[in-house]
Amino acid sequence: MTPRPESSGSRPKGTAGEKIPEQPTAAQKKSAAKKTAVPKQAAAKKATAPAKKAAAKKTPAAQSPATKATAKKAAPAKTTAKKAVAKQAAEKKAVAKKAAPAKATATKAAATAEKATPATATAEKAAATKTAAKKTTAKKATAKKATAAKATATKAVAKKATAVKAVAKKATPSKAPATKATAAKPPAKKTTAKKAPTKKAPAKKSTAGTAAAAPAQTTPPEMEIAVSPALGAADRDRLLNGTHHNPHSVLGAHPVPGGIAFRAFRPYALSVTVVAGDVRAELNDDGEGFFSGLLPLREVPEYRLLVEYEGTVLDTEDAYRFLPTLGDLDLHLIGEGRHEELWTALGAHPMTHQGVTGTRFSVWAPNALGVRVAGTFNFWDGTGHVMRSLGSSGVWELFLPDIGEGELYKFEITRPDGSKTMRADPLARRTEVPPATSSVITSSRYEWGDAEWLDRRAQAPAHEAPFSVYEVHLPSWRPGLTYRQLAEQLPRYVKDLGFTHVELMPVAEHPFGGSWGYQVTGFYAPTARLGTPDDFRFLVDSLHQAGIGVLMDWVPAHFPRDDWALAEFDGRPLYEHADPLRAAHPDWGTLEFDYGRNEVRNFLVANALYWCEEFHIDGLRVDAVASMLYLDYSREPGQWTPNEYGGRENLDAVAFLQEMNATVYRRVPGVVTVAEESTAWDGVTRATHHKGPSGFGGLGFGLKWNMGWMHDSLQYMSHEPVYRKYHHHEMTFSMVYAYSENYVLPISHDEVVHGKGSLVSKMPGDWWQQRANHRAYLGFMWAHPGKQLLFMGQEFAQGAEWSEAHGPDWWLLDPGYGAEPEHRGVRDLVRDLNTVYRATPALWRLDTDPAGFEWVVGDAADDNVVAFLRLDPEGNPLLSVSNFAPVVRQDYRLGVPEDVPAWHEAVNTDAAVYGGSDVTNPDPVKPEAQPWHGRPASIRLTLPPLSTVWLRPA
């Protein structure tokens, strides 16, 4: 490191090793020699002013044997030089800077090294050679600093003798006097070290030039002229203000001329001591939490710091002695937006670094003037824990030794305008329980037991396998249960009902429970409301071991404006788009991500992988895709800016979704992504490399929510049966586009809140008719091409709409409740629908292939009847017939394939066991040779009122 010039300010304690010797006369030599035995107490008093400034002038080289020899030979020249120097010093009012003879100093250093009093003796000699007039001049020059100098001299003699003795014993004889510099307080004002022998003033060449030349043969050049170890004013200010980009370059231990400079920044510390093997050296208190010292070492040793605070002493590693924990590859990938395991690079990670245990903190904040770490480990004062900037990457990093799991932390960011903000870690993997907002240091020790499940899930793609989903809001499914308690109940309940998957509403951390998790602030942390991240892993593992896949809602479309989270994270738009028209989400008061920025795109793509890889999530249902795809989404003319081609498509979002899907499918076998996309965007579930008519490649999703089917079918069911014939197309139109995408049929939380009522309450008629309509609709839904999703509470016909405050009305299933059989009957129907569904490949093998569906009758509007066949690849059929009229239809004729000898009921939603009127077809139904509905054979059925009947070959 290039030494810094000494700063101005008050003078520190001086040492013999810091002096630049002036050559004495013969008389002065004799006088000085007689004073070598003067008690150090007297010397301290006499050295109050002169010794303070003389200490920094003398070099370690003056103490060597070679120096002594040179001093003897150069006595005459030195006498003349001394006079010239004295005259110049007097003119500058610096008479007090005279030093003792080099020969006497060297002799005394050898004789008094064990007593650690070289500064005292030298000061005494300097004082004895001065005239009364010179003393008067020195007093004027140092009057303002007399008190500080006395205190310094006293401390140097009385308090640090032990530390200096230890250093002196370890130092070489030629450098014994210089060991005092390890505890010397560096000067704040300019000293004669700046006018050292290397200066080209003629008067000084005759003296110092000779003294410096001789020891060069035995002492390395960098050890010749000691520099001040104290920080300059600029570095001090930047560290104090939290705007230093490279604190490691000035703090810690650094080779400098004269040895190794140790610097520590420990606000509120009373003292800081360096411990290196047997060496203990207390650093000088430079004020405002800064400590420094110079040890005459040739290389940086392994060392620790003893930091004394009020009432305690902390034995710790120095955080500023460590190399960066992130390599060039990490930084390159982050800059390119291609770090697929970003969570391993950024955030807080307990680790062992250079043989020391601690925690690595790193954060992306390219606009910050400075970043500091604050937490419980430093009483939320990050002043002393300044992070370093890793070049142009925008990443700040700091390894803190002895800090481990469970500690709370945030990043204190200095914005471009100089103001400060305290921010939670965007990549925190654990958080405090809301409404608290701190991040928590964590690491996982969970041992998974779902290897068999992971192997099995990749055997068939989701769209060719049974896929019925139970949507769950975990905090309210059974209010008060933790992740581990849910793991005891949820898998058993879902398995009993026969669902293949659960979909968890956003489990990522969010501050407001009323958002149901859709306004995320902790994208990498499962909500702490229900337990730790490993507790969440336990829940997922338990579901897998029960044979149930786990989907989770993922929210990359927007984030809230909380001032401790992502909004203007480092003082400027960072995660959000810089254009206010692109940043503000008009519907939810949130901010939209800037998908065109490499690091932001990386943040989200890596987040998708994080949940799949770290928590074994089987699929991501991506929320609000439509709001991402369109620049004019919920915006009026003039409130949005067209793309580069003049269109309304958000090209950055398209590229992001394509990259996310391609990356997830490449890295995680068997995973599925599901888009909640409510428009007719072309190619949502088409491969990213296949372009459609619009010119875009597919978005690459595995499945898409069929919002059109959901809207149309619920609209149809809400009408009184007498009017349904006028809306018959609402139940059949979905087959016009059924194979344009790979669909999921969703009855989600969005349809049972905010005044929409529960599913059963949407149905017309009295309570019996409502439940009958509810059951008939579920039967139609499970038979329709596409996968199924049902929100919790709808499986037992809950009458009230859902509220996150209390969850499903489980009391409806209490045997003591009078209507319990009616609600339990609906739940039993859902169980049987799932059972038959999973056992009937015709209902799922060709979900995305038109060959798997055939209309029987789709235009019986006057009858309110819809009938169709579902087929598996081998041609095995299932016949689904729905009668949405409240009347029984006897001998209702339907055309069927002639090669099926008989049909029998597999499911009848009107069965008494489900709470129906029990109008059934108990015996096998045989085809007749009468053509009907364009088929060569037909059967006659009794259709129950408001029902769906499934028939399979007998």
3-state SS class at 188: coil
- Residue 596 has phi, psi (to 5 degrees) of -85, -5
Q: Which two tokens stand for residue 816?
A: 């003591």
H helix or E strand, kind and range, residue 619: strand 619-622
Taking the C-alpha atoms of residue 781 and residue 933, their distance in angstroms, rounded to an integer, is 23
Q: Between vectors from CA 463 to CA 459 and to CA 467, what angle results, nearest 5°? A: 90
824 SS3 class: helix
Strands 468-472 and 787-791, bridge-based pairing: parallel
d(CA 246, CA 259): 22
Nearest-angstrom CA–CA distance, 101 and 33: 9
- List, in order, residues 6 or more apart from 524 with CB less than 8 Å away: 343, 347, 426, 427, 428, 429, 508, 607, 610
Q: What is the DSSP string of 203-226?
A: HHIIIIIHHHHGGGGTS-GGGTS-
With contact defined as beta carbons under 8 Å apart, do 361 and 350 qualify? no
Helix 118-128 to helix 102-112 angle (10° resolution) is 150
- C-alpha–C-alpha distance, residues 60 and 182, integer Å: 12
Q: How many CB atoms lie within 10 A of CB 190?
A: 14
Contact between residue 370 and residue 639 where contact means Cβ atoms under 8 Å apart: no
Which DSSP category does 355 fall into? T
Measured CA distances, 820 to 384, 546, 825, 829 (Å): 64, 28, 8, 14
**Whole-angstrom distance, CA of residue 46 vs CA of residue 40:** 10
**Residue listed under structure tokens 């839904």:** 781
Task: Supply the residues annotated as catalytic.
Answer: 623, 676
Count CB neighbours of 738 within 10 A.
Answer: 19
Tokens of 655: 């590229």
Cα–Cα distance, 86 to 97 (Å, whole number)? 9
422 bridge partner residues: 412
Angle between helices 483-497 and 533-545 (to 10 degrees): 20
Q: What is the distance between the alpha carbons of residues 534 and 483, in angstroms, rounded to a whole number?
A: 9
DSSP state letter for 738: T
